[in-house]
Amino acid sequence: MADVPSSGHGQTHTGLVREQNEDALFVEPARGLYAVFDGVGGHSAGDVASALARDVVHAALVEHDGSDWPGAMSTALVRASADVYAEAQRRAERRGMGTTAVVVKLLDRRALIAHVGDSRVYRCRGGEVEQVTVDHTVIAELLAQGVVSQAEALEHPYRNVLSRNLGGQPSTDPELTEVDLREGDCLLLCSDGLSDYASFDGIRRVLTGGGGAELKAKSLVDLALRGGGGDNVTAVVIDYGAPAPRRTQVMRTVGARTWAAEVDSFASEARRLGISTNPVAMAFAPDEPGRLGVAVAEAIANDLQHTTGAHLWTLAESLARDWFARGGEFKDVRELLDILRAAAQQVVGGIGLHDQQSADMLEPAIARAMVVGEIAVGTVLAGRLRGIEEELAARGVQRRWTDAFAARHATLPLEPVPVEPPTPDVVACLEAALGAVEAQLRETSTEEPGVVIDCVERCHRACVEQAGAIDGAQVASDLFGTRLLGEPAIAPLLQAMDRARLLHLAGVNSVTQVEAVVRAAAARRLVTAHHAIGSAVARIVVEAAQPVTDELLEVKAAANRLRSEISANEERMARLENQYDDKTLPGWEPPKLGDEDGPR
């Protein structure tokens, strides 16, 4: 038995993509025993592996006499591995099945953890959350050895390949970990369907927020689903020595209810302020643009109830990411945030007309929710900038944004690249090559976008120019035209240029009626031209990126302003809470609470 009372709750979901749930778990608060298993194996063998491992481990630990917990946990996992392996040998379609396992036993002021694979344990203490297990993946081990960087590990195609599992071999090698616990700490056990689809920040917000283990586990699964739900997701949350609900939490529940009753008035206020014609809101729910107002109000209500910002953060983040991925502009997001903020202020003002105390309590909480939305959008913008920067770096443009800032007015043109004027047989070879490329593009015209043809033709004209230089800047600015910066403009243009260069070179090589030395000269000329044009396009991209940089600076400045507003508001909220605690505000009592789950 755990010496300090604990409560725990597990939640599992198939996710939005997989057909069945191959995760398994057990939750035994009375015994202080908790576990998560994540099965792997084709032909629906993964669920067999995880369920079998769960049953074997559960039976072994429930029967254990309590003398040597580390030994018992290790033995239980090794036995489960033998049983899963034996089962896999019995039927061909189950060969190679296996599972991860993470098992927790609570003891006096500490938790013993045994694990194999990449299911994790996090410990939350105060406002901090740390991962206390090390993933048994090939990449985590390479990372620990310093062979790959943190950034490479996150993006690595083999990041989910396990270095240890349970059942893939007759035996296994469980890792034992011990962490100390204090009253008020909480532990999270999860499968990678949570850690891959909910951001660490989102997880932290839920775990450090209010509510019991059940609300937290449900919120975490919700987060992974909102994050795409690409895998089965399981979360087991353990509250160690769960403290009695504080007066402030009771107050927050009341605040959440007051707000939840205003969801419709928030939505109609947002409609009055023009949300229905905002392009981001229209993209969110094409049939019912006003729907976004309701979704935002509900996310705020959830966050108030659970004392996190996780729901609104996740909503704002996925909304902004979708919008920018479609090529949407920042000003539309800005307008949306302004509408939502104004609508929220109106609603809180309206509450204040009949219930000033609730309005006073809600005002800082709502201001804070709006800041969470702003920062989430700022984070997405920052991520986009990094992406553009990486793309430029990958193409040889080593230019920092600060340099781009300084070079703001250093516009084109770049110096033309000097070359010898082409000889008549090189021109003839290039003409023949152009004919060959055009013939090929006509055959595959449904697949090749017009911009590829455009690249080839403009490059050709630059190459056959009789002047002794190739003016890459001119071609680049023609190609770039009046495009605005955004994914739809940049990435496809750079891809089209790559494709054009390859096609064009193949075209030159296909010209057999000239001598090899002429083909080589034509190819050299072509490569020079493509290089000059590519550099010039990259330079234009850097300059065109400037407005995005400005937008980011604007968002950061707004976020900073709002951060200082938050701390002022938090002081005010703390003051108000103290007043309520001291009962110095006469005439107001929190309404009696009904069911503990609060508004839905």
Q: Report in angstroms how near the CB of residue 505 gets to Ca ion at its nearest.
A: 44
Closer Cβ to Ca ion, 36 or 300, answer by number: 36
- Residue 115's SS3 state is strand
Q: How many DSSP H helices and E strands does the chain contain?
A: 21, 13
* Distance of closest approach, residue 4 Cβ to Ca ion, in angstroms: 32
Cα distances (Å, whole numbers) of residue 377 to 150, 209, 219, 569: 24, 21, 21, 22
Q: How far is the CB of 289 from Ca ion (least distance, A)?
A: 36
Contact yes or no for 381/325 (Cβ under 8 A): no
Instruction: Quote the least distance from Cβ 46 to Ca ion, whole Å.
Output: 9
Judged by beta carbon, residue 159 or residue 368, the one nearer Ca ion is 159
Rounded least distance, CB 166 to Ca ion, Å: 14
- Provide the sign of the torsion angle of the four alpha carbons 387, 339, 260, 584, taken in this order: positive
Neighbours of 30 (CB within 10 A): 10
Residue 174 or 193: which CB sits closer to Ca ion? 193
Pairwise CA distance, residues 179 & 41, whole Å: 32
- CA dist 432 and 439 (Å) reads 11
Residue with tokens 């006073």: 360
Nearer to Ca ion, 37 or 330 (CB): 37
Q: C-alpha angle 139/143/148, rounded to 5°?
A: 90
Shortest distance (Å) from residue 118 CB to Ca ion: 8
| Closest to Ca ion by CB, 38 or 135 | 38
CA–CA distance, 385 with 376 (Å, rounded to integer): 15
Interface residues toward Ca ion, by CB under 5 A: 38, 191-193, 231
Indicate the residue among 162 and 333 with the shorter CB distance to Ca ion.
162
- CB nearer to Ca ion: give 193 or 373: 193
Q: Residue 193 or residue 289: which is nearer to Ca ion going by CB?
A: 193
Closest distance to Ca ion from the beta carbon of 163 (Å): 16
Nearer residue to Ca ion within complex by CB, 193 or 211: 193
CA 292 to each of CA 223, 257, 319, 365, 372: distance values in angstroms, whole numbers, following the listed order: 18, 20, 10, 20, 17
- Judging by beta carbons within 10 Å of its beta carbon (0-12, 13-18, 19+), is residue 479 exposed, middle or buried? buried
Q: Contact 262/274 with Cβ under 8 angstroms?
A: no
Sign of CA dihedral 575, 580, 582, 585: positive
How far apart are CB 202 and Ca ion at their closest, in Å? Answer: 18
Q: Please state the closest distance from residue 60 (CB atom) to Ca ion, in A.
A: 24
Pair 600, 222: CB distance under 8 Å: no
Burial (0-12, 13-18, 19+ Cβ within 10 Å), 67: exposed
Residue 266: how many other CB atoms lie within 10 Å: 25
3-state secondary structure 403-426: HHHHCCCCCCCCCCEECCCCCHHH
**CA–CA separation, 234 and 25 (whole Å):** 8
Q: Treating both helix axes as pointing N-terminal to C-terminal, what angle do 487-509 and 424-443 enclose, rounded to 10 degrees?
A: 120
Cβ of residue 492: shortest distance to Ca ion, in angstroms?
A: 33
Torsion of CA 536, 539, 544, 548, to 10 degrees: 150
**119 or 278: whose CB is closer to Ca ion?**
119
- In whole angstroms, how close is the CB of 140 to Ca ion at the nearest point? 15
Quick one: which of 208, 244, 242, 202 has its CA closest to 221? Answer: 202
Alpha carbons within 13 angstroms on the beta-carbon side of residue 591 total: 14
Closest distance to Ca ion from the beta carbon of 232 (Å): 6
Identity of the residue, 191 or 358, whose beta carbon is nearer to Ca ion in the bound complex: 191
- Angle between helix axes 356-394 and 546-581 (nearest 10 degrees) is 150
Nearer to Ca ion, 10 or 416 (CB): 10
Q: How far is CA 273 from CA 262, 288, 320, 334, 340, in A?
A: 16, 16, 20, 14, 9
Beta carbon nearer to Ca ion, 49 or 497: 49
Nearer to Ca ion, 47 or 231 (CB): 231
- Containing 111, the helix (H) or strand (E) segment is strand 110-116
Q: Which is nearer to Ca ion, 38 or 363 (CB)?
A: 38
24 contacts 46 by C-beta, under 8 angstroms: no
| Least distance CB 82 / Ca ion (angstroms) | 23
